[in-house]
Each structure stands twice: as C-alpha cells, then as structure tokens.
Structure 1
C-alpha cells in the first residue's frame, strides 16, 4: 500500500493502518513510498494471533530463515519464477493463444454512407418475365450496414436440405427458424419440422423466450418443413401466406390488395413472393445491425443463392419463382434461405438479374 512519508517526530501512518503493529512507511524504487511490515506483523495478519511466545510463529520463523538461506545460495529470482520451477515436459502446456479481433465491417467500402439509395421496396413494380432494358453505369454503390436501432435477427435453428434420389425422391429438410426483435415487437419466421421441437425449445430457453407470446408467427410457404411447430410459438397473429389468424378468427391479409405490408415498423415488412407456392411471402428486415436489409423467404431460395435452381416438389410456378427472386435480390443485402445460414447478396448477383 502506498503511503506519504512524514517528518521526523510525527506518527507513522502505516503503524496506524496496522493497528499499532510493527509497520513503517519506506521508500520503494518503483512505487515511491509503501507501507512495509515485519514478519511478526505478517504472521498476525494471516493467523489472527500474536507472534509473542507462539510455537506456530517459532516454526514459521525457522521456515523463513531456511527460505532466506536458499535465496542467498541459489540466486532465487522471483521476477521470473518459471525458469526456476519449470513444468515437467510430459505435463507442460502451450501458452494461451491470442484472440483474433474480427473487423466490424467486411470491407472499406462498407464504411461509406449512401445518401441517395435505389428506390425503396414500397415502389417495387409488378415484375414481368422479360429482361429489363435498363443499363447500369458503373459499379453498384456500397451500403452502410452500421445502425443502432434496427431489428435484431437471430437463428433459433439452422436447417439443411439433402435430397436422396431413388425410386422416389425424398429429402432431409429441417428448416431454418428465425427470430426478429424489432423494438418491443417480436416475430418468428417459420417453425421447422416436428423433429426440431426439442432444439427449438432449448434455443428459446437459452434466449429467455420460452413461453413468451410473440406478436407474429409468419409462415412463408405452406409447406411441411415450415409448419411443424406452430403450437410452440404462441403469437397474437399467425400469418400463413395471405391469411391471418387471430384467436379463432381467420381473415385475409392486406397482401391480397397490396404488394407490401408493415409488420412491427417500417423496418419489418411483408411482401408477396409467389413461386414456391401461389401465396408465398417473404419477410424483409431493414437496418439489421451488421447486415443491412435482409430477406427471409423460406423456399424462395431453398439452400443457396443459385438463381436457376428449381426444386420441383417445392416450386409451384417457375416463372413466378424467378421473378420473385429478382425482386428480392434487387432490394436486399442478405438472404436467409429456407435451409441454410444467411448468405450475402453479392454485387455480381445484382448485376446478373439486372437490378
């Protein structure tokens, strides 16, 4: 403990701190002045007993004398004890590895801020099957993915998609289940297969979400891999395609008459993306921290960002599928396929669909 030296004749502050024990304020080469105590005081502090006429103190005093003799004989260096007491070779461990701090952005370009972005998603026109005649001049503008108040996206389960081709095609297809937290509003997107129930329950418990009533549960396509655990997610509203269930009432979604519907806020939207099924929908999450605009569309992209991929059992209309894919790619930065982890939308992909 550091101390302030006193003028001769004044009481030593260290003695007061030690309760009248044998302690003094002494100079230290590296820390100015510190309180130093005698071995007697150390014994009293460690044991709570006085060292006077104590057999324990006498034994400790002898041990301290022996230690001092070893110190003088062997040149003990307390500043580097590992050299004097090495770990045996058979039990020696490697030094801890340095942690690698990941960069917050994926490229220098992502730090730039766009003032005039492309048209917002509300203005997406009806798509045609013909290619666009627009010509892009120059590279695509980089986006700014840094945001403070956007919705938080997390995966409750990550699916996979493995076809087994034989006399009759079968698929191992647990789906990706997504949770979006948009302020106080909470959204579940797709619910997986029944066999994913225990995994989803554990994920909800780990996030303190188990038993919570969500604002929305959204099923992007009425296909088996997305509807297996609807009863695990209690919600104020269940959205299946263009139908909404609230309690015992089923009504048509506003998507019947509109191309886009707001869920929690302008940051979480629903759009029509027919192709996987006639009434398939996609959730668009804007301003997601570190990602930007994210599309969660289930079977719109089964497992990857392959524009020409068609999985026939999960496709009702190929032309509509391609049109919906183009619409989503042109307005988003990330895709969450129905059966994999999120995938970034590359500039090449946007050029390929002629955004």
Structure 2
C-alpha cells in the first residue's frame, strides 16, 4: 500500500491494438512490457499464421476468462485526479464514503484503511469494500447521513479478503456477501459462481458487474459500474493502490505478472478508477477527458498532466 496520491496527473504510453480485449495468450496479446504503470503494451486478438484468432479459453491465467469487450486503445493514456467523491448517473450513482489511505510510520509499520464506495439508484444497493473493524462507527454514520440503513444494502462486494477491506461484513446480515471469489447469502449459504473461471458475477447485468482481476491476491475482483455521468467506473480495490502507484504496487502483489494484465484490462475499460488506497482518478485517452462532467468538490479535476 502506498501513500495517498499527489496532485499531478500521470502519463503512460500504450501501443495501439484492434480492441479485441484480453482474450489471447500473454506472449501474443500483451507484447512489450515495462511502461510506467506496468501495463501490457499491446491489446488485440492473437494471430495464428497471420490470421486473427479469438481464444476465449485463455487470459489472466484462468481456463475460461470471459470479460467485457475493451475499447480500442489510444496511442497515449493518461490519468488525472477526479476531484470528487460523488459520481452521479442513471440508474446508478456512486458515493465514495471513505477515501482509502496508507501512511508509513517511523517504526516501519503503517496505518491504512481502504476506499469504501456506495453504489445505488437501481434495484441493487451495493457497498464495495467495508473498511477495517476500527472504522465501524464511522461507516454506519456515513450511511445514515445518506439515508441508508444496513438492511437497505443488497450486496456487499469485497474486492479481496484483507482485514482493511472486510472488517465490517457482519453489519450487513441481509445482504449477499462476496469476498473475492466466495459468494454467500443468508445463514451461511454459499452460492456457485464463475469468478474463479474468469466469468463475471453480475448483480445487475449491463450495469453492475464483478470481474476477476487477480494479482494483488489470486482471488481479487473489481466492480464495474456502467452508465454514470462519468462513463464506466471501475472500483478496483488494490488492483491500483492509488494514482501514480508505479514503484509501489509490485511489492504488494502476490503475482505481479497477472496483476499487470489485470491493470491493463481495467485501464482499457474504465473512464474512472477508484483505487484501494487513494483518491479516484480519470483515465484520459487521446487528449480528451474520456468521461463526462462530474461536479467537483474543489480545484481543477484534471490537475497538471505530466508529459511522457
């Protein structure tokens, strides 16, 4: 986990592809590695004897990865601070109840808690990550301030099982509970799902979907929310520690190669990313904003974008 994000935007280059998404083998699909964000360098379908091929049985190490199609990549993709904890939309809007953080201490330990995001407006009211148990009262107060009771929450979607992400699961006994790839409801009834095979879990198909994004830990997921005023939002847990986390995330990863691929997929589909331990940020493609206008709390939401 890194410190909270600074005020400058970030830039990385991505080689162009045909936009086929993360469907092919790593050696054919991802191409060159090593740009600033640790993203694979190429997107598209693999080629066999010069002919493009789709392979739905490869990718991210899963035997049957099925992910949403990714848009065509642009020559340059940058990031910039979103500048707001509110993302309106229809049917779903997002409220970042808590902006995650990580603060090192002099004795080598660090203080940390995760981003907590409320997704609501349609038939699903979802909480993405719950923070640590030390924040129980604050979480309840934040929900109450929005007129949301624990029993109003239909789904609690925890990106992975670390204590700063799952510490308040017991506050939501009536919700469907997802921790990584494990889905349960009621009194300990566990439900089958395809996340461990790379098949998304969709509380509201087309609008709210959970996608396997392994790497930080094997059973890591991200929540994709479509149709907001800012475009597609990926609530990414510790797939991204924060904006500008190059030099940090690899040291916290169980499988950096798979996380690199997961991060590349996320940047391909997201207009906004909510990271696990920092402020939300925009993904800016081709010199444009990449997402709609969002009411800002303060300042210029794009920040100062560094050149390549």
- What TM-score, normalized by structure 1, do the two folds share? 0.56
Residue 119 of structure 1 deviates from its aligned partner by 5.6
Which has the larger Rg? 1
Unmatched tracts of structure 1, length 5 or more: 1-117, 141-145, 351-355
Q: Give the structure 2 partner of residue 162 of structure 1.
A: 103
Structure 2 residue aligned with 1:149: 90
In structure 2, C-alpha distance between the alignment counterparts of 1:199 and 1:349, rounded to whole Å: 39
The superposition leaves residues 127-168 of structure 1 with CA deviations (integer Å, 9 ceiling, x where unpaired) of 62533277967778xxxxx996231101222221112364xx
CA distance in 1, matches of 2:97, 2:202: 23
Q: How far does the alpha carbon of each residue in 1:12-48 deviate from its partner, in whole angstroms, 9 at most, with x for none?
A: xxxxxxxxxxxxxxxxxxxxxxxxxxxxxxxxxxxxx
Structure with the higher strand share, 1 or 2: 2
Greater Cα offset, 296-305 or 276-285: 296-305
Considering only aligned residues, what root-mean-square deviation do their CA atoms show, in Å?
Answer: 2.9
Aligned counterpart in structure 1 of residue 213 of structure 2, from 273, 276, 287: 273
Cα distance in 2 between the residues matched to 1:171 and 1:225? 12
In 2, are the aligned partners of 1:213 and 1:234 still within 8 Å (CA)? no
| Residue number in structure 2 paired with 1:259 | 199
Residue aligned with 1:226, SS: helix
Which residue is 2:256 aligned to? 318
For residues 243 and 133 of structure 1, the distance between their equivalents in structure 2, rounded to whole angstroms, comes to: 30
Displaced runs of 4 or more, over 6 A: 133-140
1:226 aligns with 2:168: no
Native 8 Å contact 1:127 1:327 kept in 2: no
Partner of 1:243: 182
Query: What's the TM-score once normalised by structure 2's chain length?
Result: 0.64
Structure 2: runs of 5 or more not aligned? 1-17, 33-41, 45-71, 78-86, 289-308
What is the Cα deviation at residue 273 of structure 1? 0.5
Q: Count matched residues.
A: 222
Q: Whose helix fraction is larger, Structure 1's or Structure 2's?
A: 1
User: Which one has more relative contact order, counting CA pairs under 8 Å at least 6 apart?
Assistant: 2
Q: Note the C-alpha offset of 1:250.
A: 1.8
Higher alpha-carbon deviation: 242-251 or 188-197: 242-251
Residue aligning to 1:297: 236
* Displacement of 1:126: 5.0
